[in-house]
Amino acid sequence: MAPLDDDSEEFKYIKSYLNVSGGATHELKKVFRIEREGEGERFETYISPLEHPIRRLLWHGSPVANYGRIISEGLQIGPNEVTVSDYNFGKGIYLFEMSSQATSYCDYEASEGEALLLLCEAALGYPLKKVTKASESAGNDTETDSTCCQGRNAFKRFTEGSKKHENLKGIKIPDTDFGPKPTKVQEALLDYNMFICRIVYSVIAPFLLLRSTIGIGLFYVAYRYNVLYVTEADVDTRGLIYPQALKQLLSGVYLAETCLVGMLIVSKAARPAFLMAGLLALTILCHISLAKVLNPLLYSIPP
C-alpha cells in the first residue's frame, strides 16, 4: 500500500473521476495504491487468453469495518457481511461507473461521514451480459463472467488509461471532460450503469485440478489393467493381485474426491463441498466395512 502524490496526474484524474461521477457531495482526502501479493499475476493469467478483454476502472463501496478483510483477503463473492437481499441482480462483486452509487453502500453515517471507496481495475470478461431489470437469476448465465445492468445515463466517451498513468495501460477509463449522458435504453430502471463481476479464480485451483485429474487417471488404470485382468483371467487363485488392484483403485477415488472437495471450497461452493465431503466420508466407511468382511475370506482361499 502506497499513497499517491497529490500533484501526480494519476491523483488528479482520480479526483476528477470522483467529482464528475459523484457531484459536490464528496471531498477527496487521500488516495492509496493497493496491490495484494500475487493478485497481479492471477489477473494477468485470466486476461491473457482473452482476445478482446473488457477492462474498466470501476468503483466499489463497503462500510469501513469491512476493509480489514477486503485488504487481507481481497474482494469476495458472497462475504458473510452481505445478506441475500443485497443481491438484486444475482451474486457477484458489485461495481459502479458512478462513485455516488458506490458511496451508498458505505454506511458512512456510522463512521461520522467518512467513507472508503475502492477504485478497481476490473476484468469483466467477454461477452458481457446486459440486462435492464433486477433479477436474482441474472448471475446464473454460465456463458458470461459479468453482467451489465444498464442505466438511463452512462459515460459515452472513454480514453486509454496509459494517458493518465502507465499502470493503467490497457484499461478503458471515462473521459472526465465529458460527464454521463442519456443512454436511451428502454425499460432501464437504474439511473446509472452497474456491473456484477462473477469471476472466481485462485492460484490453488489449477494445482487441485491437476491432482484430481491424476486421481481419476489412477482410477481408470487400476480398473482397466488390474481389476479386469484379475476377474477375466484364470490366474492368481490366491487373489494377491486383487487387493493390490483394489488399493490402487481406492487411492484414485480418495485423491479425486479430496481434490474435488478442495476445488469446491476454493470456489466458495459450500453446499457441493459439504456433500462431496460427506461422499468421501461414506467411501472411507464402506472401505473399512468391506475390509473387515473380505480380509478373512481372502486368506481362506487355498493357493
CATH number, domain with residue 83: 3.90.228.10
Same domain, yes or no: 215 and 248 = yes
Confidence band (pLDDT; 50, 70, 90) for 85?
very low
Last-in-domain residue among 181, 197, 213: 197
**Residue whose cell numbers read 444498464:** 150
Same domain, 192 and 223: no
More confident site: 183 or 265 = 183
Asked which of 63-72, 98-107, 165-174, 198-207 is least confident by mean pLDDT, the reply is 198-207
Average pLDDT, integer, range 272-294: 71
**Which grid cell sits at 298?**
481372502
Residue at 303 is within a domain: no
Residue that wins the pLDDT comparison between 59 and 275: 59
* Shared-domain flag, residues 142 and 248: no
What span, in angstroms and rounded, lies between the C-alpha atoms of 269 and 276?
11
Considering the domain architecture, whether residues 8 and 112 belong to the same structural domain is answered as: yes
208 and 95: one domain?
no
User: Same domain for 151 and 234?
Assistant: no
Per-residue confidence (pLDDT) for residue 9, from 0 to 100: 86
When pLDDT is averaged across residues 38-57 and rounded to a whole number, the result is: 72
The pLDDT of residue 147 is: 80
Q: Give a yes or no: residue 155 inside a domain.
A: yes
Quick one: 174 and 223 in the same domain? Answer: no
Tell me what the pLDDT averaged over the chain comes to.
Answer: 72
Residue 13 has pLDDT above 50, yes or no: yes
Q: Is the pLDDT of residue 254 over 70?
A: no
> pLDDT, tens digit, for every residue of 180-220?
899 888 888 888 988 887 765 433 344 444 545 555 555 55
More reliable by pLDDT, 143 or 26: 26
Q: How confident is the model at residue 233 (pLDDT cuts 50, 70, 90)?
A: very low
Residues 121 and 255 in one domain: no
Distance between CA atoms of residues 217 and 154, nearest Å = 51
Q: Do 110 and 182 belong together in one domain? A: yes
Any domain includes 50: yes
Q: Which of 20-24, 30-34, 225-229, 251-255 has the lowest mean pLDDT?
A: 225-229
Average pLDDT over residues 293-302: 57
Strand duo 181-182 + 151-154: pairing: antiparallel
C-alpha cell at 272: 457441493
Same domain, 191 and 208: no
pTM for the predicted model, two decimal places = 0.61
Number of domains composing the chain? 2
User: Which domain does 267 fall in, by range?
Assistant: 204-298
Domain identity same for 170 and 232: no
Residues 103 and 236 grouped into a single domain: no
Proportion of the chain above pLDDT 90, given as a percent: 1
Q: Which residue has the higher pLDDT, 81 or 247?
A: 247
**Spatial separation of the C-alpha atoms in residues 260 and 226, rounded to whole Å:** 25
CB 63 within 8 A of CB 110: yes
